Amino acid sequence: MLYDQREDAVGSVLQISMPRLPRMYAPGATMHVVARCNNREFYFTGPEDFEILLDHLGGMSSDYKIRLFAYTLMSNHIHLLLQSPAEDVLGRPLRWFMTQTAKSFHRLRNRCGHFWERRYRACLVEDDLYALAALRYMDRNPVRAGIVEDPSTYAWSSCGSYATGVSNRLIQFHPSYLGLSPYAKVRQRHYLTILAASSDPHLDNKDSRWTSQRAVGSREFLKRHHSSDRRQGIIPLPEQIRKVRK
């Protein structure tokens, strides 16, 4: 287990400096990353804005040898599912991405100042059931926001590749998705089942645990990665995920 402790202190409302918990990284592991615009402002409003993000995602993946599994780009934040680098902490490529996108948007709009919130969030995700749940949570973001009814039709996510086979040069399919079937059409059918609305509506609501916890997985997984503090937990899985993995 590696720890990135280079961003390590903030002041509370009482101006008392307290250390941040170190990020959790396991080389080669799956990470769910969330980055929000400063003050949660809606900076991404048109196709040109989203194309800038996609262009820099491609640059990050190429320059830093990052395996990008999936993305969902929203108007004031982004979700990424990627593989933690084997020989480096994740902070370096993500800092490059956030710096370069900020510069591009500042040039485009002739502005300056903070663009992203200072600290992105990164969550270690157990593969198999929980990786599929992370994909589902990301892909249903536009549905929760009321933008689309069918997540596979949202233009600024990789959902269409997983659900219908739309070509996407930026991503590599997550191994847990590939494990659904050796046949592309069968995998797509299974993933459409996973994407469907849950019989438990609470499982389709926004769940802050996906963005606040440092690790998501089974009890055994959390114990293995020494994740026993209260910031970690087990997120309920929609029944359709368990069904397609039987």
pLDDT in tens, the chain (246 residues): 443 433 333 322 233 333 455 566 678 999 999 999 987 788 898 999 999 999 999 999 999 999 999 999 999 999 999 998 887 788 899 999 999 999 998 888 887 778 898 789 999 999 999 999 999 999 999 999 999 999 999 999 999 999 999 999 999 999 999 999 999 999 999 999 999 988 887 788 888 888 888 889 988 888 887 655 544 556 788 888 988 876
Q: How much is the pLDDT for 17?
A: 35
Q: How much is the pLDDT for 226?
A: 65
Q: How much is the pLDDT for 208?
A: 84
User: To which CATH superfamily is domain 9-244 assigned?
Assistant: Transposase IS200-like (3.30.70.1290)
Q: How much is the pLDDT for 233?
A: 56
Residue 75 and residue 41: Cα distance in Å, rounded? 8
Domain ranges in the chain?
9-244
Q: List the one residue out of 81, 93, 79 whose CA is nearest residue 125.
A: 81
* pTM for the structure as a whole: 0.86
Q: Is 118 exposed, middle or buried (0-12, 13-18, 19+ CB in 10 A)?
A: exposed
